[in-house]
């Protein structure tokens, strides 16, 4: 029986990196250049404007949001109450690569993607990478030759990092080292579409948005697709199993009118579903 969904919030452009804390859903509203706060009743408001264009973000142990800026190529700590931003790290400039999704481990390490090319501008190439950041131990590159790194999730035991390689149409997995290093790279799943922001559930399955197909698919630990939630004509961007007891699946989508490529009209929204299994791991 298909999973039922309902509309939760509108008024967004390109909703990425959904994160839940204290009855509020935080959204990286990429092309509105802001972080948005969505209340339990679906009302969206601006937490802060982000000049360098917001990308991935996740909560750290002190309750702040660690944010990567896509164009600005910087990491900021964001106060979720006031929106105040504090610069934490800057990466080397790169005209043809953007920072992307981000996840924070319980041990303080964070990983985020560097795309390697600009979607819609450059020829796709397998030149992306992953960076590791720790507030006391610094910043370093830990994986290369990633085909447009996107969604990142960490297993409940903290031992495995899953990475959506969007233009590789696959999910890769790494073993996580205590020093932030990533080893034992392997392919976890081959997909029929391009994956974006991931979520992991209590049965070890991944919810995977297939960006250009407008579907969220559930993938078993063996990499098999067993369920799909469709949004025909839309982009499926990101998801997270969160909310109270992590029993709600938030689904971020966009209806993109690109009839004028120079001025696309982006109408983003968040829908919710009640999946068969609750969310686990990080992000949460």
Helix then strand count (H, E) for the chain reads 0, 25
Tokens 């960490």 found at? 154
Full domain range(s) for residue 246: 5-280
Residue 2 pLDDT = 61
Q: Exposed, middle or buried: residue 195 (CB in 10 Å: 0-12, 13-18, 19+)?
A: buried
Q: What is the pLDDT of residue 1?
A: 53
The count of domains in the chain is: 1
- pLDDT 10s digits, 216-275: 999 999 999 999 999 999 999 999 999 989 999 999 999 988 778 777 889 999 999 999
Q: What's the CATH number where 156 sits?
A: 2.120.10.30
Instruction: State the Cα–Cα distance between residues 130 and 160, nearest whole angstrom.
Output: 14
pLDDT digits (tens, 9 = 90+) for 117-139: 777 677 878 999 999 999 999 99
Per residue in 191-220, pLDDT tens? 999 999 999 999 999 999 999 999 999 999
pLDDT digits (tens, 9 = 90+) for 138-188: 999 999 999 999 999 999 999 999 999 999 999 999 999 999 999 999 999
Q: Which residue has the tokens 């917001």?
A: 54
């Amino acid at each position: 029986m298909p999973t039922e969904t309902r509309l939760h919030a509108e008024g967004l452009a390109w909703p990425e990196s959904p994160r839940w804390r204290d009855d509020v859903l935080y959204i990286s509203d990429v092309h509105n250049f802001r972080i948005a706060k969505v209340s339990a009743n679906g009302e969206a408001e601006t937490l802060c404007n982000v000049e360098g264009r917001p990308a991935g973000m996740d909560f750290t142990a002190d309750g702040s949001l660690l944010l990567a800026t896509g164009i600005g190529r910087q990491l900021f700590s964001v106060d979720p109450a006031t929106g105040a931003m504090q610069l934490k790290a800057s990466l080397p400039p790169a005209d043809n690569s953007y920072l992307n999704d981000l996840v924070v481990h319980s041990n303080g390490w964070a990983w985020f993607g560097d795309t390697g090319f600009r979607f819609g501008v450059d020829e796709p190439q397998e030149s992306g990478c992953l960076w590791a950041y720790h507030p006391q131990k610094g910043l370093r590159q830990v994986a290369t030759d990633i085909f447009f790194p996107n969604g990142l999730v960490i297993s409940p035991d903290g031992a495995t990092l899953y990475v959506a390689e969007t233009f590789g149409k696959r999910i890769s997995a790494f073993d996580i080292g205590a020093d932030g290093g990533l080893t034992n790279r392997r392919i976890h799943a081959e997909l029929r579409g391009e994956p974006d922001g991931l979520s992991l559930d209590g049965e070890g399955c991944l919810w995977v948005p297939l960006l250009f197909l407008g579907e969220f698919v559930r993938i078993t630990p063996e990499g098999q697709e067993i369920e799909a939630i469709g949004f025909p004509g839309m982009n499926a961007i990101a998801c997270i199993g969160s909310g109270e007891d992590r029993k709600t699946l938030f689904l971020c989508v966009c209806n993109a009118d690109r009839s004028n490529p120079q001025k696309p009209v982006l109408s983003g929204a968040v829908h919710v579903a009640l999946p068969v299994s609750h969310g686990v791991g990080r992000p949460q």
